[in-house]
A and B are shown apart, each in its own frame.
Chain A
């Protein structure tokens, strides 16, 4: 048998090649795809049109590097735009590498590979600072705040006061009004002031603007600078104030020498700083690959080129026509000017490959959106010439059919257009052209336009249900009314001085409505009614106990901070008049006595305050309360509905509620103590700091990373939400977008940006509009429907105005027989299941698997989290200590 072993390596060598792996993964690359996969030496710029197989190419290229070029996974830096894309790439790569392993028997470990969103990778760079800096005394990683946490942080009274203080305002001035006016908004709303500030701070961070330097520049500005300010209606003082606020914000993030917060934008600066501090950080990764490069910003570009400095293997993939995120700081010029940037940073020219074959859409759709983009003038005005776009992409459809695949409605009023489209959609569903209504997407520039409501009504009149994430506030979905309504009945609504006016007006209406809805639920379900009564009684008991105990403390002149003296105090508090049986039981507990004595012996006695809170705290959090509610008929029915596959909408929204409640438990009040309820702290924090923030931020409905749209409902999406997705049928619900001139933030930061050759402020709105419609039009696979409104007050953007002429095919001309029926293919990329998180969980309880794993409910886990983070922190400290000692020993020797 042994004799054959020598032959096995020959067999492996003979079989292990890219062609075999392509064949096994059922992929037949075209010429350009092949070129992109095989080119691994030097910088590479891949322009990837819609549906051109970009993900496949990225996967195979990475596979090629790992399996055939001996690049270790940890030597690759692969950045994607979303976590979902990163997850897909990682799982896809794992699947492909599995094929290789099944040929050569060699395992590949992806756990050390840098693959994820820029933000997650920046975070990893910070965590791995020892790797980059070769320094074993690094301080702890800053605590990352997500967007909601950032909002909570800025709006928190302490921070907000700090920010306002730098403006040196008179006491009688309304700071909210002043701050809003800096950003050109005349409002007194704090929420508005906070969101304006955050938007400005983030843009400054992304453009690497140093606030103090900016202020110095403003103060020393020359004529040219002043002319810029004047021509853009900017006031120097306002800019100084804005940058001062930014500086104060950055300072507010530092909690102590070792403890620091950071946000998503500053995180990148932190990571970049680490890369600059290290000696050889340009050689850590042999290959730097960036997907969706058109949506990167200045700081990200700096990071990528710094990482690629050593080996110069940087591969960027993107589509300048799909650049959508200028409002988040993305600069499409990073991509369009990539060749010159390569020259600047790496002193070398990149190879350019265009993936131009569209495998997604039928021919007429591709022809339409390709033609669409030619209607703008992309030529640069500068002396060097050139374009603000890659002009030579030659996008063409792979599908040869020449049938009608794009139609417009008969030009008419919104009511008529919506009725015509709704009927067509119903016909498509009835005739089985799609498998589920969720395969027909309605795309809008904004979901707040009146057309959206008209269309929704037209569809609902025909019995079709709509799912509109972000169309309204998440809190306005039925499930939110139900859950928070029951909460309102249990905890009671807050009282507000001067009534629910101003900023709180709508929110107050919403709260009252939740209460009305919940009362109706209680009428229908006596068990739920009893439950609410029991919970109220629990709260009342805890509150009355708290008050009774406080009275004793007052009577005895005890300070709440003094140690709880078992001999002196126990008897008195135990016999407090009005103390409930439960309160007595808790105070009289032998376990509590033992713990108190132990702590006293150790010299760390419990303060009286702690004991009083402990015995009057509720033994459930708001998240626990939520899960108790799910046992009642009304809520249980939502789970049954999802299990039967009929409608996943309600359960998805319930899942999102758990995610928010978990945030409340983690960031605000993990334990509900009676004093918080008595003093109204709970109401203030829960309703105003927390719920009101979510309400005003318009936090969106549930979105599942893998299966974003619940079955049985037609998704209504913004074009931005639809990016990266495809649908058999797409309706462009509104071919109009108002071209807003550049706002304060863009104008304010423009002179401080390093971006060369950037698109002029005056043309950005037009370019952005073209790109947005390009994305919308390129989502359709089989049929694209464009709503064509006509009449008073109705208009469409160019080039629709020209393109939707009399000869353009209209809905009545469409023969549905010619529309192919869509059947979803099994996802080509294999999905990996975890043995513990999937298999064992499912085996233990399929229902739990459905709830926690499939729909992402957050379990009630306050204690687990606490101990988890405690252990994590302890281990990290130990790790630091061991490394420090080891180094001391090695230095000593």
Chain B
């Protein structure tokens, strides 16, 4: 690392260039290469006609969820003292109203602005490096206390007077479904795998407003500890990774929060709405276990709706970046219009992941709760989207999940998903759909001016100097 005002030597790289060992090692590396035309044609050949179903009626409402985060230093002179902000936006679009705004694939931006009263958002404040909240003693405990408090806050409740409608209660509902020993099958109880302080575990906590303590060390435990985000919290350095993970978790719990509420109050409304989630239907990191709960949760919801002769919940994860998108960029010109491909593990590992060996029973065994599809619309836009697996578990008793997950006919909602994407495809951004674009626009904290404003806000609130 250089000292301040010390500049690097302009010829230092020459040693590297002349090093024969480095040259040799580079030559020995296998790496992902752009796909050949043959490979692209091979992929194109696997594209199928989009499935048709009797019921392709579009849902009337779309709920799109997108999150954004920003980490701010309280002072330029103290760059290692940081706060984080997360904003998860939820946009509700009535397709009837939206239809009136559409001219071709373009949307009247002024009239879209009129939809803004159908937006809602949840903002979270996270202590990052070197911040101590309410004498918690360290960043990790401050983070835990504050995260839990905010999940339980009235702002997260559908009915402010009913704590059971809080986001934390949804976390309880999901965690109770967890397969194995850590599940409770009781919506009002969840298990934390171990105490963050003494390591005792598992600990069962209840969905109650009062503070709960570890039975072993008697220190505070929080229901949200079950997400294990605290394990990655760093006291003295940036916690950008944790903030991103937290945002990702919220992006997946919030749809479940809505679904749970509707299932309780008016379940059939769920058949008339679609959920768009930004990114893959997958949860990564220490909280990845929650993807299994989500699978069970969605399957239970499907069964409940099936009993009412209603179609399953339409949930779509839309990928804007990533390996699949990178790959599509290379082969797009070969792909046929109005065709769909259900990505199977063989193709993914062989071509998209550079012949990497499959790491487990199936791709995303520990993380994904939805299946990837590549769909090229009639107008030539290509989408990589996911819809939930139609199973409650990947360990099927009588069939092979790897095989079943790639059968298009197993996805009852696929025709509706395709119809919806067709309807919502937008020329606003490349391969975008309007709800995600709107949600993103509503939520995104841009570096200028949003980020700068948060900087000033944080510093003012803490009484620090306002720089810049």
Residues of A within 8 A of B (CB): 1-5, 7-8, 10-12, 14-15, 20, 24-26, 98-99, 102-105
Contact = CB atoms under 8 A, between A and B. Distances in A.
Nearest to B267: A102
Contact of B268 (A7, A8, A103): A103
Contact of B90 (A4, A24, A25): A4
Contacts of A4: 90, 92, 118, 120, 158
23 contacts: A1-B158, A1-B165, A1-B257, A2-B159, A3-B120, A4-B92, A4-B158, A8-B265, A8-B269, A10-B94, A11-B60, A11-B266, A11-B269, A14-B60, A14-B94, A14-B96, A15-B60, A24-B310, A25-B309, A99-B308, A102-B266, A103-B268, A105-B265
B369 interface: no
A181 to B, nearest CB: 63
A276 to B, nearest CB: 45
Q: Which 9 A-B pairs have the closest CB atoms?
A: A3-B120, A102-B268, A103-B268, A105-B265, A105-B266, A15-B272, A102-B267, A24-B309, A1-B158
B266 A1 contact: no
Contacts of A103: 266, 268-269
B373 interface: no
Given A1-B120, A4-B92, A102-B308, A15 B157 contact: no
Contacts of B309: 24-26
B118 A1 contact: no
B160 interface: yes
Given A1-B156, A2-B157, 20 more contacts: A1-B122, A1-B165, A1-B257, A2-B159, A3-B120, A8-B266, A10-B94, A12-B266, A14-B61, A15-B268, A15-B272, A24-B268, A24-B309, A98-B308, A99-B308, A102-B266, A103-B268, A103-B269, A104-B266, A105-B265
Contacts of B94: 10, 14
Nearest to A10: B94
Contacts of B156: 1
A698 B348 CA distance: 77
Contacts of A3: 119-120
Nearest to A21: B268
B276 to A, nearest CB: 15
Contacts of A20: 268
B158 A2 contact: yes
A99 B305 CA distance: 10
A24 B119 CA distance: 30
A11 B268 contact: no
A2 B160 contact: yes
A607 B132 CA distance: 91
Contacts of B165: 1
Contacts of B157: 1-2
B24 to A, nearest CB: 59
A26 B272 CA distance: 17
Contact of B158 (A5, A12, A26): A5
A15 B160 CA distance: 26
B308 A15 contact: no
Contacts of B96: 14
Contacts of B268: 15, 20, 24, 99, 102-103
Nearest to A103: B268
B273 interface: yes
B310 to A, nearest CB: 6
A105 B264 CA distance: 8
A10 B94 CA distance: 10
B333 interface: no
Interface in B260-296: 265-269, 272-273
Interface in B34-91: 60-61, 90
Contacts of A26: 309
A24 to B, nearest CB: 5
A96 to B, nearest CB: 11
Given A2-B158, A26-B309, A7 B265 contact: no
Band of interface residues on B: 20 to 34
Interface of B: 60-61, 90, 92, 94, 96, 118-120, 122, 155-160, 165, 167, 257, 265-269, 272-273, 308-310
Given A1-B155, A2-B157, A12 B120 contact: no
Contacts of B267: 102
Nearest to A26: B309
Highest count of chain B CB atoms <10 Å: which of A2, A20, A98: A2
A105 B262 CA distance: 9
B172 to A, nearest CB: 16
Contacts of A105: 265-266
Contacts of A98: 308
Contacts of B308: 24, 98-99, 102
B62 to A, nearest CB: 11
A63 B443 CA distance: 43
B310 A12 contact: no
A467 to B, nearest CB: 34
Contacts of B310: 24
B269 A12 contact: yes
A7 B119 CA distance: 10
A727 to B, nearest CB: 27
A11 B272 contact: yes
Contacts of B265: 8, 105
Nearest to A15: B272
Contacts of A10: 94
A428 B345 CA distance: 51
A5 B118 CA distance: 10
A70 B122 CA distance: 38
Nearest to B90: A4
A28 to B, nearest CB: 12
A103 B273 CA distance: 12
Nearest to A104: B266
Contact of B272 (A2, A5, A14): A14
Contacts of A11: 60-61, 266, 269, 272-273
Contacts of A14: 60-61, 94, 96, 272
Highest count of chain B CB atoms <10 Å: which of A25, A102, A104: A102
Contacts of A104: 266
A26 B311 CA distance: 13
A25 B310 CA distance: 9
A10 B265 CA distance: 15
Nearest to B308: A102
A10 B266 CA distance: 13
B61 to A, nearest CB: 6
Contacts of B159: 2
Given A24-B309, A24-B310, A99-B308, A15 B158 contact: no
A204 to B, nearest CB: 50
Contacts of A102: 266-268, 308
Contacts of A7: 92, 118
Highest count of chain A CB atoms <10 Å: which of B60, B122, B266, B308: B266
Contacts of B118: 4, 7
A439 B321 CA distance: 61
Highest count of chain A CB atoms <10 Å: which of B119, B160, B265: B265
Highest count of chain A CB atoms <10 Å: which of B122, B269, B273, B310: B269
Highest count of chain B CB atoms <10 Å: which of A4, A14, A26: A4
A3 B272 CA distance: 19
A8 B165 CA distance: 15
A15 B267 CA distance: 12
A12 B92 CA distance: 14
Nearest to A5: B158
B118 to A, nearest CB: 6
B71 to A, nearest CB: 25
Contacts of A25: 309
Nearest to B122: A1
B409 to A, nearest CB: 21
A13 B439 CA distance: 25
Nearest to B61: A11
A20 B273 CA distance: 14
Contacts of B158: 1-2, 4-5
A7 B156 CA distance: 17
